[in-house]
Structure 1
Amino acid sequence: MDRLSALMSRFSLSVRPCAVEEANFAVVGDVQPDCLIYGTSGHLHLLEPDKHSVLLSARVCWGGSQNPLLAALPPEIRQDLTNDSEMRTVVDLLLAEQAAARCGSASVLNRLGEVLLVRLMRRQIEQGQMRVGLLGGLADPRLSRAIVAMHHRPGQDWRVDLLAQEAGLSVSRFAELFRKAVGVTPLAYLRKWRLTLARQDIERGDRVQRVANRYCYGSPEALSRAVSQEYGQTPTQIRKAAAEDRAIPAL
């Protein structure tokens, strides 16, 4: 499993065209697209240099605060398209699909948006310009092996020594590098990841006992305490709120 796939598969992505005022994603340019802007904090800052045309504005939803990728990114990413033929091709397809408004366009926009976001994540990793956080760990080829293992097998009974083996490092060196790059200890990151997945499963209606077994909690009570401490809600409250949200008809 590569550095991004196991993680991205856990979070649904939606890309919905909208007014600029509501957007957190935009393609700007004069006649042709010059720059892609993604406001990972949820907002765009289109200043004077961006007064030239907004060719596409959209709202990207991708797991919100539960997605550790977003927490690891700067508040805004700008990608120059003028010397990036591959990214430009995807953007051109996105613009054409929006303009044509054919049947199935919503699905196509989602897929193309996902391609753009994957490429943006790759660029952030390759450039090594991330803040301390998940992408900082994924940028290190040694740490990334341990992080991917946690993402891919969250229910395994991981210990620091086993994660250090995945990384090919001594326990002390692994723990030191992990905390420096990611900002937390390996087991703290694993705990947060398990709780993120547990919340998703609870929102879908899975039984707490089954979720506890899935993510290495000793009992349903232990998971319930951890969920309540992390999110300020019991599993029952989380499940009820999610069910109510699903029951609200889309506008």
Structure 2
Amino acid sequence: MTVDADALARVLATVDLRVGFARRVPISSGELLPMMPDAMTLVYVAEGGVAGHPPLQAGCRLDVDRSSQEVSVDAGAPRDLLVSGDAFLTRGGSPFALEADGDTTLIVLDIELADAASPLLALLPDLVTVTGFDALEPAAATLAAGMGLVDPTQFPLRRTDPVICKLMATTVFLSVIRAWAENGCAPAGWLRTSSDPFLDRVIDAIHDEPGRDWTVERLASVGAMSRSTFAERFRSAIGRSPAEYVTEVRVDQAKRMLDAGRSVSDISRALGYASDEGFSRAFRRRTGMTPSSWRLAHRTPVSA
């Protein structure tokens, strides 16, 4: 399956991690490492190999020719053993554990999204496996391999910065999803927020013009529905009201605009708010922070 690059970028741009804590976990041959139940976890195999309990055979296998960089997909191939350079993501919906095949080192990232209603949660399967992640996303794999708590006795000058850790975890997390989706493992229709083409038309319109004055009547007309029918179908399919969804899209766009250095006044006007105060209230209700505070917390540190 070919994934719409713009649609994929739009979904990934909505992701904001609240937690991105990484652990470097060595496990001996035959040792079991349980995954946390009801928690999203990303694992990168730095050395050795692991098998899943239950087996990892379900899912999509990417075979990467490292010399030609060609990728082939075998959706039904039994591949329970993951080896150095492979990665996988579990949403923690059921009990799961890893068994080491020889002495193994894993980078384990505990993932928590800042927005519990993120569209990504509804789109992801329970298990995302990317074989050959180091060949598909070499920069992100190198970053993953260097993550994890550092022994302070060996590196006394090294300090753990939570902002930097979150940025690193976000990069690896998004790279795993992108590699999985762009190389043919995402199921057909994966990026559609709903199975209703009329609602999809409305959703696309909101994302294309987040600053437009989107009343329920105007959105209903885009979807060729009556106001009452549209409001009911939208909430049933998306899980929130049209107004809540518009605010969600606007705030996600505002984050990108803040990252780009645009002023609060410029952003509030571009996104259709009558005042800076109205924009700031909407942003704070959704993120728990003012726009200025969010910009400061997410500012990328500059190396000396």
**Inter-CA distance 242–125: structure 2 relative to 1 (3 Å threshold):** same
For 1:4 and 1:62, locate their aligned partners in 2 and report how far apart those are by CA, in whole Å. 23
1:196, CA displacement in angstroms? 2.1
* CA RMSD between the two structures: 4.7
Q: Which has the higher strand share?
A: 2
Instruction: Say if 2:248 is the partner of 1:188.
Output: no
Identity %: 25
Structure 1 moving runs of 4+ over 4 Å: 17-23, 25-30, 52-63, 107-113, 118-122
Number of aligned positions between the proteins: 219
Structure 1 alignment gaps of length 5 or more: 82-90, 99-103, 127-134
Indicate the SS of the match to 2:127.
strand
| Pairs within 5 Å for 1:6-85 | 7-8=10-11, 10-11=13-14, 19=24, 24-25=42-43, 29=51, 33-34=79-80, 37-40=88-91, 46-47=96-97, 50-51=98-99, 53=101, 64-66=113-115, 68-73=118-123, 77-78=126-127
Q: Is the 8 A contact 1:146 1:163 kept in 2?
A: yes
Higher relative contact order (CA 8 A, sep 6+): 2
Give the deviation of 1:117 after TM superposition: 3.7
The answer on whether the counterparts of 1:217 and 1:223 sit within 8 Å (CA) in structure 2 is yes
**Using the alignment, how far apart are the partners of 2:230 and 2:267 within structure 1?**
29
Cα pair distance change 1:120/1:174, threshold 3 Å: farther
Q: Which residue of 1 aligns with 2:139?
A: 106
Separation in 2, partners of 1:199, 1:231: 10
Asked whether the 8 Å contact 1:12–1:63 carries over to 2, the reply is: no
Structure 2 letter corresponding to 1:193? V
Q: In the alignment, residue 99 of structure 2 is paired with which amino acid?
A: K
List per-residue Cα deviations over 1:28-49 (Å, max 9, x = no partner).
659x7348842347x99642xx
Output the CA distance in 1 between the equivalents of 2:80 and 2:270. 46
What is the deviation of 1:204? 3.8
| Matching of residue 226 in structure 1 with residue 282 in structure 2 | yes
Equivalent pair of 2:235/2:242 in contact (CA under 8 Å): yes
Q: For residues 68 and 180 of structure 1, what CA distance do their matches in structure 2 show?
A: 16
Higher helix share: 1
Worse overlay, 116-125 or 169-178: 116-125
Pick which of 194-203 and 170-179 moved more.
Answer: 194-203
The 2-side partners of 1:121 and 1:158 are apart by 35
Q: SS of the residue aligned with 1:51?
A: strand
Moved more, 228-237 or 57-66: 57-66
Residue 101 (structure 1) aligns with: none
Q: Deviations over 1:163-216 (max 9, x none)?
A: 223323222211111111111111111112211221332244320111001110
Offset of 1:94 from its aligned partner?
2.9
Quick one: structure 1 residues 78 and 63, their matched pair in 2 at CA, closer, same or farther if it must change by over 3 Å? closer
Distance 1:94 1:218 in 2: 46
What is the aligned partner in structure 2 of residue 160 from structure 1?
A: 216
* Larger CA deviation: 143-152 vs 166-175: 166-175
Residues 94-147 of structure 1: per-residue CA shift (max 9 Å, x gap): 36x28xxxxx82168876751304579943856xxxxxxxx7843322211111
- Residue 207 (structure 2) aligns with: 151
Query: Which amino acid counterpart does residue 139 of structure 2 have in structure 1?
Result: A
The residue type equivalent to 1:24 in the other structure is L
